[in-house]
Structure formats: structure tokens, C-alpha cells
Amino acid sequence: MANAALSTPGIPMQPRGLEKKQTWLERLRKGDEVVHLITLSGAWSIIVITGLLVQHLWVYSAIARHTFGWRFLFTSTWDPVNGLFGAWPFVYGTIVTSILALVIAIPIGLGTAIFLAELAPRKISDALTFLVELLAAVPSVIYGLVGIFLLIPILTTAMPYFQKVFGWLPIFSGTFYGVSYFSAAVILAIMVVPFIVSISREVLLAVPVSQREAMMALGATKWDVTWRAVVPYARQGIMGSIFLALARALGETMAVTMVIGNVAQVSTSLLAPGYTIAAVIANEFTEATGDLYLHALIELGLVLFAVTMIINALARLLMLTMRGHEVTG
Amino acid sequence: MIRRLLTLAVLTTASAFAQQISLTGAGSTFAYPLYSSWASQYHTLHPNVEVNYQSIGSGGGIRQLIAGTVDFGATDGPMTDKELAEAQQKRGTAILHFPTALGADVPSYNIPGVSAELKFTPAALAGIYLGHITKWNDPEIQKANPGIKLPAANIVVIHRSDGSGTTYCWVDYLSKVSPDWKNKVGVGTSVNWPVGLGGKGNEGVSGLIRRIPNSIGYIELIYSIQNHILYGEVENSSGKFIKADLNTVTFAAAGASKTMPADFRVSITNPASAQAYPISTYTWLLIPEKMSDKTKGAALKAFLHWGLTDGQKYAAPLAYAPLPNVVVQRELQQMKKLQY
């Protein structure tokens, strides 16, 4: 389907057999080989960098891995004084804040992207897209400040009313201090929305006109066209933008540490303070003394790497199953 | 300014042929303003010596020093015996500690309706941070503040989330005044806090205090002076309530100097002195006893000597408490150990 839509009648291909066999040197001089080598080395460098990263994290976390084994992942005590390290509160905080951030960001981001690509006049769309891309370039410490000076006061004012209605739910129970998983997730959502918007919009705009025309010919409304022809067509690109947003949310450090409360505990309530992996590494790495402590922090880095991989794999799996159910248009 | 430039010009010409020496150090962020001020003042006086100081944190400073990537280190908590042994083994030299200035931690709080300076007993501070004292009108707090009406509100405890010398000083004090703290939590640049929220840096902690009603936190004296933040008095070992300022902090060092060990690795929290503020601490320069490059060594030695004597006058304007004279004299004696 995609191929049929994209194939353009144009440049005739030169029949293969007519090409003269070239020596390596000739190809080098013509540039093909140069480009090949350059692009290949670019691709290799990614593999090498990732490999080195994992290798380093692995080697420099050896002491912590040997001391705690799998317990490291599932215990909740983080006590540098007595050399007891458990990563669970950080893993939990990282996953909770990232997932919650996506839950908030996906509808907003996707809605904005659809509006910009399908509904808004071109001029408004371009102006708004520029703004969105500007948002993506704001340093995270600024978002942290926005969190402290804008978001937290607003949440603190609104929360008593909210809790009156929803306070009976365990996830909204307890005292709200302003700093919490929820605040961190909201800030993260604001940070990742631009990624979802700008990529999704590009993908939506790239959907061929024939797709829309075919749907319209069947008598569909404008919204039907968007939702049932355009969005499914662009699904893969949209998912890509969500992965990128997820990766950003999982690894975000500065903005999160400023609004999450930095308490190594596991709470059911989203309004309780917590901690994330990236935040604890940034907070404690500079002053960490002693090999075990240092190795435990580096092992946290390894865990973050693994968590990112696993969540990404799960998301991809989800996408594959979704595609399986979909009737191809 | 012009005079300074002229002096600089003259000095530069005079020593144009002198060898350029660059000293690198790393460590304590707490002492960074002082050391960078020293570095620039010293460079004006001795244009051939350039001191580069990186404030990467005390832990990082110690690691870099042990690895031998810097000429000197700087820390807010003394090196442990294990770290000293490691340095001896890797670099083949002992590391000497030289106190250079003093800092202190103060309790800051935000109780709606209370604008007075509260008085805190050691038992009150330990109780609050252990989570045993949970209300502001707890008898332990109220009895020290008879004239002030404290609310029956829950106390929100705030601490540093990043590892820091400020935390080290605070928990070192708590573990001296509370056996419970010593057994349950202990001393370190980061600890396993029984209660409370974490803020990053002094600005993070004071930001949380400002935002959360009925909260209490500890911040560096310097930061609270520079930002005009209200803080409370703390009862010292003689039963007197003392407000932290540069004088009372210097008294703490003087009070502790009688029992100061030969290697200067000493905590001066809760000293035996009636005038001393009890939550005070030294910040140290870490100097290798031997250096392979003698010229560099001589320059480092001269810089250290200058810092301990003439350099002390730059401490107070930056809100560091200067060293008491008894301590300076002992340090100058100690400098004779440097083998270069």
C-alpha cells in the first residue's frame, strides 16, 4: 500500500548489465566508496559507543553487583552510611513518572499535531510549529524552575479541592507538599509534548493526498478522514515520536529532581514525594566516597539502561500486536 | 582599579621571565568562592603562579587527589583512614589536612504566624530529624520558646538531596547529641533519612522551606546571611542558646583547638566552649606530603602559607568565619612536614 502510493513514474533505472565492472580505486575516486565508508563508520560508531557504554557500566558496577546480586533491584533501603543499597524506590519512581507523563502528553501532543497538520490554516500551523520547536530547545533546568515557581503553587492551591473529590482513591491520598511523582510527571509531560507534536505533525503531513481522497470518495467526514485514514497511515511515525518522548522522560534529571521531593520511598499515592534513577545519580555522584557507594550509583545507571531497553521493547511489542489487529487500508 | 592594573602590569613585567607555574586543585563546592578569590588575589601578587580550582564536590576532590590528577584537593569532611591508605599506596605519599576556613549550618523554618527567632535544643533538632517530634507545639520545642505561640501543625522536615559537606556537618552534630541518631542513621555526606523531603543545594532546601508551611531545614550560614534568611538559635554544650555568626563559629574552632589531633582531622561540632555555635565545621585543603615536581611543590607551599596568613582576611567578606590564631599557628608548624 505504501509503495503503491509513493512510487512515482520518473527516473528510469539504468539496466545493471550495461555497467562496466569498476576497480575499487575507481569507485573510490568516483565517490561512491567514500560515501559508503563514511556512512558505514557512522553506523559503526553507534554500535561501538553503545557497547563501550554498557561495558563501562558493567565493569564499574562490579562490586555492587557482587555484593547485592539481584537483591539490588528489589530492596528499598538506600543507606550510604552503612553501605546498603537497594534500587527499587528509584526504579519505581522512574517508571511511574515516565508512564504518567506519557499518559498526559500523548493526548495533548497528538491532538496538537492533528490540529496543526489537518485542521489549522497553514500560517497558523507554521507559527505554532515554530513555537513548539522552541519549547523543545528550552534547557531542562528552566522547566525545573517553571515547576517550582509556577506549577507547584498552582497544584498546591488546587489540590485540596481535587482531593475532596478524589481523595478516597489510594493514588490521590495523603498529604500533598507540592513536590511529588505527579508534579514531576506534569513537568515531564510539558517537556516531551514538543517531541510528540513536531514529529507527529511531520508524519501526518507526509501522508499522501490519495489516502484522504480515497476516504472522502467513500463519503467520509473530515474527522473520519483524519482519524481513520490519516492517523493509522502515520501510526508508525507517531509511535516513533512517543518512543523518543519516553526516552527523554526516563532519562530526565534536572527538572525532575527539582520537583519530585527526592525521597527514596515507594508510595502508592501519586501525590507523595519520590525519587528517580537519574535524579539520585546526579545528586549523589559528586560526593560519593568509597568504592561500594560509587559502584552502586553506576549500577543504577546500568539499571536505567536496562529499564529503558525493556520499556522500549514492550512498547514495540504493543505496536506490533496493534498492527496485527488492524485491517490494512 | 587603575592602580591595581598598574601594579599588575609592573609585576607582570618584573616576572616576565619567571617560570609559569600552574597549580590545579579540585573538591569542595562550599569553599569554592574562597579558593577562587584566593587564586585571583594570589595571581595578582605572584603573576607566575596560576591556581585552577574546580568545585566538583568533596568526594570528587578526594578521588581526583588519590588518582593523582590534581595537585591538591579540598574537602568539607576529613578523609577516612581507608582513603588515606589508598592515597599512600597509589601515590606513595601521605596526605595532610589543612583547615582553611570555617562554615556552619543553621536551622531555618517557615511557620505561618511566627516571625520570631526560635530557640532549638539539641534534643529538639534530633527529635525532629528522627521523626519522633512531629508537631511544632511539642513540649521539647515549646519549653525553649516560652513567649512564642507555636501551632499544633505537623512539622515538614527538609534535608539536602545531594551529597554535601553541609549534610555531613549537620548529621555529625546530630550523632554527637543523640545516641539514637548515631545508631540508626550515622554520619556521611548522604544518609538514609528517617523522615523528610530532599532539596538540591542550599537554594533547593531554602526554596522548599519557603514554599511549604510548617517546614524546617538546615542551610549553610553563608547562604542564609547572603540571602537574609531567618534562622534559629541552637543550644550549645554549655546550655547557652547561640545564634550563628562569624564570631560564634570562630569560637567553635578555638574551643575545639585544645583537643585537636595532630593531623587536624577533627569535627568541631558541639565543642566545649560557652560562646561557641555548636553546628560548625572546618573546610580543609588536602596537600600531598611529597611531590615529584619540586618547583610546583614550592609554589603550592607558598600559596598555602599565604592562604593561612594573609589570605584569611578574604574569608569574612565572603561570610566564611576566619580561623582562630591558635589553629593557624599549629598549621604553620604542620607545614614543616611538607617535603619540598
Could you give the C-alpha distances from A96 to A160, A273, B9, B241, in angstroms and in order? 22, 12, 61, 46
Q: Which of A92, A118, A304 is nearest to A203 (CA)?
A: A118
pLDDT at A329: 40
pLDDT in tens, B277-300: 999 999 999 999 998 888 899 999
> Quick check: B190 and A152 CB within 8 A?
no
Q: Which of A292, A266, A268 is nearest to A91 (CA)?
A: A266
The type of residue at B333 is: Q
Q: Give the pLDDT band of residue B2 (cuts 50, 70, 90).
A: low
Give the global pTM.
0.84
C-alpha dihedral (B56, B58, B61, B65), degrees to nearest 10: 180
Cell numbers linked to B139 = 513540649
Classify residue A117 by its DSSP letter: I
Q: Which of A249, A279, A146, A239 is nearest to A189 (CA)?
A: A249
pLDDT at B339: 87
* B3 vs B199, more confident: B199
Residue B68 main-chain phi, psi, to 5 deg: 80, 20
First to last CA, chain B: 36
CA angle B40, B44, B48 (to 5 degrees): 100
Mean pLDDT, chain B, rounded, equals 90
Number of C-beta neighbours around residue A102 at 10 A: 22
What is the DSSP track for B127-174? Answer: HHHHTS--BTT-HHHHTT-TTS---SPBPEEEEESS--HHHHHHHHHH
Encode A184-215: b = buried (16+ Cβ within 10 Å), e = exposed: bbbbbbbbbbbbbbbbbbbbbeebeeebbeeb
B84 close to A (CB below 8 A): no
CA distance B246 to B259: 21
* B42 vs B80, more confident: B42
Residue A136 main-chain phi, psi, to 5 deg: -65, -20
A contacts of B212 (beta carbons < 8 Å) = 177-178
B192 close to A (CB below 8 A): yes
What is the DSSP track for B23-88? Answer: EEEEE-STTHHHHHHHHHHHHHH-TTEEEEEE---HHHHHHHHHHTSSSEEEESSPPPHHHHHHHH
Strands B233-235 and B119-120: parallel
Alpha-carbon gap: B156 to the closest alpha carbon of chain A (Å)? 9
Chain A residues with CB-CB distance to B under 8 A? 77-82, 84, 148, 152-153, 156, 175, 177-179, 257-258, 261-264, 273, 275, 279, 282-290
Residue numbers in chain A where pLDDT is lower than 70: 1-22, 323-329
| Percentage of chain B modeled with pLDDT above 90 | 71
Interface predicted TM-score (ipTM)? 0.81
Asked if B281 and B169 count as a contact pair (C-beta separation under 8 A), the reply is yes
Q: Is a pLDDT exceeding 90 seen at residue B172?
A: yes
CA distance B189 to A289: 9
Number of C-beta neighbours around residue A77 at 10 A: 12
pLDDT in tens, B115-124: 999 999 999 9
> Quick check: B58 and A287 CB within 8 A?
yes
The beta strands (E) that lie in chain A are given as 78-79, 84-85
Side-chain-side CA neighbours of residue B159 (13 Å)? 28
Q: Is a pLDDT exceeding 80 seen at residue B176?
A: yes
> Quick check: B196 and A263 CB within 8 A?
yes
CATH homologous superfamily, domain A67-328:
MetI-like (1.10.3720.10)
CA distance A155 to B79: 44
